[in-house]
Chains A and B, each alone.
Chain A
Amino acid sequence: MSESVRQVLRQVMGIAYIESRWLVRQPLWLVQGLVSSIGFTMLMFFWGGVEALKNMILAWLIAGAWSNGLNIVAQSIGWSRLFYDYERLVASPVTLAIYFIGVVAGNLPFFFLVDVLPAFIISLLVKMTLQTILALLALSPLALTLGALTSLYIILRLKNPTNISAITNPLNTITVTLPPVYYPLTPLPQILRIIALVVPTVSFMEISRWTTNYPYTCFDPILPTIMLAVWLLIITPLTLKKLKWGLE
């Protein structure tokens, strides 16, 4: 391995380590996440049975990744800008790509412990295959990135210092709790089903349901994929325009 590659890896590790410390220093966030996972499992199982649990696994792996990007990664970057860590890193050999990968990597342990690990355990109970889990995990980085870009699009436009979580948490509720993520699209009228696909988490979930042959799937993946592609094409340049790495 060349020295320059080693140096890049060290830079990513450095950022990731710094970004991951909140989890170690404030472990009650982890406890809250795990208790919430257990509670959700009971809620879903007792009201919806095995099918509800299977949908919940999809939601944890896909919408969980989205939430990780939208809420946690974007918050890390937003707070870092407010407290000048961001500027300090701009004036250093760290590049925007290294910084972003480092922030994502630093926050991944939370996603793995609160979403992926419980999803894996419950998948064994409901007899979901490992291939299915891996297929969903392959989709999750896209959900995480799109979630982060969406949140950053708003956060980076804030002129005055503010409590960033007061913005990202409602965003998370609007995109994960309200729309058909933890419940299927099937009970909705056709027009609402199509409108709901505008929300990226719903499109991600429909693609996941289709991929895993989930019985309550409304669309084949073409329309949700188009919706996501449009979302990605709109939000990426808009956010990157604001996510400047110096020379502003």
Chain B
Amino acid sequence: MTSIWAYSLGRRYGKKWGLKDVSFEVSEGELAVLAGPNGAGKTTTVRILATILKPSKGEARVLGYDVVKEFKEIRKRIAYMPQGYRGSTNLTPYEAVKWNLVARGWSFRKASAQAEKWLKLLGLWEDRNKTGWALSGGQRVRVAVAATLACNADVIFLDEPTVGLDVDVKHAVWRAIREIVSGGASVLLTTHDMYEAEILADQVIFLFNGKTIVAEEPQKLVELLPYRYKVAVKGKELLKNIDVEDKIDLGDRAIVYAKSEREAIRLIEEIGFYRESLSISRVGLEDVFYFFTKRRGGINV
């Protein structure tokens, strides 16, 4: 069953189109990641689907309900964590989760039990009675995530929930998000972090310049690349003498792409810069992101 359906969505801000043509579908129990550079239209898309903004063109449905005509039905069934939302500094983690649930109409008893469950899951139970002022940035993000996921919503929108978090905290958030997806909820998450998308997503939707470029499983997207390996090298002047089709200039370093493992090794041997190569690895979503956005046309979608 389809949880989120968007067709040719567009949104105009004055005379400028912030979102031009976005279409995709998210199934029940699926985690879809909206990826793309700054200004691609990720947040606008999420805000339209969360009934914050009205689309200027196109159609969208959440759980079968039209985002404009049937927004009340949608709001009963969704939870949304806006970009930059960090919760109130005047609330403790326990209050933030519990009373947000009460504000959604939950009974006090159920809200208390649910707050306990999610604060434990996100490693916040020990600090449940500290006020927001006494919490670290990462803890406040976890509180915001807990307050959103605890709603037991059928569809959850998370706009950059892990930006600026350290690895451990990020893993805790990922675990919680996957937990909710395993329970049958659909999640639409935006991120710049392609590693996060690769690990978390069942589907990645690439937006560029207000349009959907592609929506596919992460692995299938990687397979669209003409390359399989990349070599990070020091001293890019060494590359001048060889024929390298695709490389990313990083100043005194470069990333070189190779179509096979054999080609990657041959490249290293030919140039003779064993000691100058930093790493050799398989290509991933980050490379897909690069080719789709910076080098559009390099991949035939």
Residues of A within 8 A of B (CB): 7-8, 10-11, 13-15, 17-18, 21-22, 24-26, 83-85, 87-94, 102, 246-248
Contact = CB atoms under 8 A, between A and B. Distances in A.
B80 A88 contact: yes
Nearest to A3: B105
A93 B75 contact: yes
B78 A11 contact: no
Interface in B38-89: 47, 50-54, 68, 71, 75-76, 78-86, 88-89
B293 interface: no
Contacts of B80: 87-88, 91-92
B103 interface: yes
A91 B89 CA distance: 21
Interface residues of B, number: 39
Nearest to B85: A84
B103 A14 contact: yes
B95 interface: yes
Contacts of A7: 105
Contacts of A21: 88, 90-91, 95
A89 B50 contact: no
Contact of B102 (A14, A90, A246): A14
A93 B51 contact: no
Contact of B51 (A14, A26, A247): A247
B273 interface: no
Interface string B130-155: 01010000000000000010010000
B124 interface: no
Interface string B100-121: 1111111110000000000000
A248 B53 contact: yes
B104 A87 contact: no
Contact of B71 (A8, A11, A18, A247): A247
A96 to B, nearest CB: 12
B99 A91 contact: no
Nearest to B157: A91
